[in-house]
Amino acid sequence: MKLNGTSLNTPSIKEITDLRALAIDEVGDEHLSTSYETPLREDAFAIDDELKMELIEKHFREIMHIMGLDLTDDSLKGTPRRVAKMYVQEIFSGLNPANKPKVALFDNKYKYNEMLVEKDITFYSNCEHHFVPIIGKAHVAYISSGKVIGLSKINRVVQYFARRPQVQERLTVQIANELKDMLQTEDVAVLLDAKHLCVSSRGVNDVASSTITAHYSGKFSEENTRQEFLKYVQLGGQA
């Protein structure tokens, strides 16, 4: 085919590769996720935590070295090990199913049939596209199907899924699905309000914006129930 005298060629391999790289960049910068499951490999836990920390330490030392930092400096020399421990034992410990909170179910003896709202649960996560923090509040509600869990367990479920490289939409759905499973009910609401440091400290440098994501299912799909939940959440600590 001719256009203004020049032929329209099929794109070269390099052009295709450039386009792909551009698309991958865009996915990261727009914070799109591909699935509700955290994309883990089958062999994710084939090596134990101790070996993971050793390897991360080695590679993080290399990154610091490449950046030109003097790793013999007293202040810096322990950093690779500290980062490795922090990744495996703290901020990404929620990748390992062995760290999933064990939850005991109790009978709803008080026959409390209204919604239970646990609000202002602080969580710290990390954006999987930039590996910088996401800091937010989770508001969670459920209506008992006859079973209840200890209140602190709701916080622990939120923390567990937050301690992964995340996108906020996936975190929201993972928390909701886990609570539905645990509580044996569809009547669950999860609302997250979070600040992304990749938006505030870099990129568009917007310090004021926050991102809200929500998941409503069962009775929370009904307008009245959802409004009641939103009313409790908006009381902002005065309830």
Residues making contact with Zn ion (CB under 5 A): 127, 129-130, 198
Q: Which residue's beta carbon is nearest to the bound Zn ion?
A: 198
Distance CA 126, CA 195 (A): 11
Nearer to Zn ion, 127 or 191 (CB): 127
Distance CA 213, CA 2 (A): 49
CB of 131 to Zn ion, least distance (A): 8
CB of 97 to Zn ion, least distance (A): 25
CB of 133 to Zn ion, least distance (A): 10
CA nearest to 128, candidates 67, 158, 170, 176? 170
Burial class (CB in 10 A: 0-12, 13-18, 19+), 147: middle
Find the DSSP H helices in the chain.
13-29, 49-66, 79-85, 151-162, 168-183, 197-200, 223-234
Which two structure tokens, joined as six digits, stand for 144? Answer: 């008992």
> Which residues are known to be catalytic?
127-130, 168, 196, 198
The CA–CA distances, whole Å, from 8 to 11, 16, 66, 182 equal 9, 15, 43, 58
Nearer to Zn ion, 80 or 165 (CB): 165
Nearer to Zn ion, 148 or 198 (CB): 198
Distance CA 101, CA 107 (A): 19
Nearer to Zn ion, 53 or 198 (CB): 198
